[in-house]
Amino acid sequence: MSSQMLNQTAAPEQALATNRVLRNTYTLLSMTLLFSAMTAGLSMALQLPHPGLILTLAGYFGLLWAVTKLRNSAWGLLCVFALTGFMGLTLGPILNAYLSLPNGSGLIMTAMAGTSIVFLALSGYALVSRKDFSFMGGFLMVGIIVAFLCGLGAIFFSIPALALSVSAMFVLLMSGLILYETSNIIHGGETNYIMATVTLYVAIFNLFTSLLHLLGAMGGQD
């Protein structure tokens, strides 16, 4: 009887904790997306050059390490904004390059709309269905590593077809990551809203840039 009472008490507490993580995650995610858009706009206005592959990877992985290290402190929040702001700065030159193309603004708006629809649809499905997508974790990790290495190969060996294939892979992988992470929060697998926010931000960022690349290629402008 006492065990049953403990379970009945723990269930509402777990639900409250999950709702708190969800609320904090989506609040912080909205703020970081806005901040990233601001830094991207600043980068575009100042016509800043792209920092290059090496500096981009060093900045991304360095700041990601800092976020992971400090995820349980207030400094972790600062690192989240540093990471997302940095990614916005690297996005600015890419957007400027597309804006210089015919119908470049249309491509960007379509990619943004597509990213929003995919994110809202998949997040909503995970929240409403409450299905457990934890089984996707291993597949997503391997897939992201393979896609990342293929992407580096496409850059170093200048293989446009491979680059397009990598973008298509990332669209699928990032869609899966949105499902996985949302499910992870719901089922208590992720209790740190800072890490949840970073995971979803990275998924949205890569989904947007991959869609933009594919749309540009389909329009014969990439």
135-151 per-position pLDDT tens digit: 999 999 999 999 999 99
pLDDT of residue 12: 67
pLDDT of residue 16: 80
Please choose, from the candidates 85, 89, 116, 84, the residue with its C-alpha nearest in 3D space to the C-alpha of residue 197. Answer: 84
Please choose, from the candidates 3, 4, 213, 1, the residue with its C-alpha nearest in 3D space to the C-alpha of residue 111. Answer: 213
User: Are the C-beta atoms of residues 191 and 76 closer than 8 Å to each other?
Assistant: no
pLDDT of residue 4: 52
pLDDT of residue 221: 59
Tokens read off for 128: 């409403």
pLDDT of residue 77: 96
Segments making up each domain of the chain, as ranges: 2-218
User: Are the C-beta atoms of residues 71 and 188 closer than 8 Å to each other?
Assistant: no
Task: Provide DSSP, 133-180.
Answer: -GGGHHHHHHHHHHHHHHHHHHHHTT-HHHHHHHHHHHHHHHHHHHHH
Instruction: Say how many C-beta atoms besides its own lie within 10 A of residue 159's C-beta.
Output: 14
- Residues of the chain short of pLDDT 70, as ranges, are 1-13, 220-222
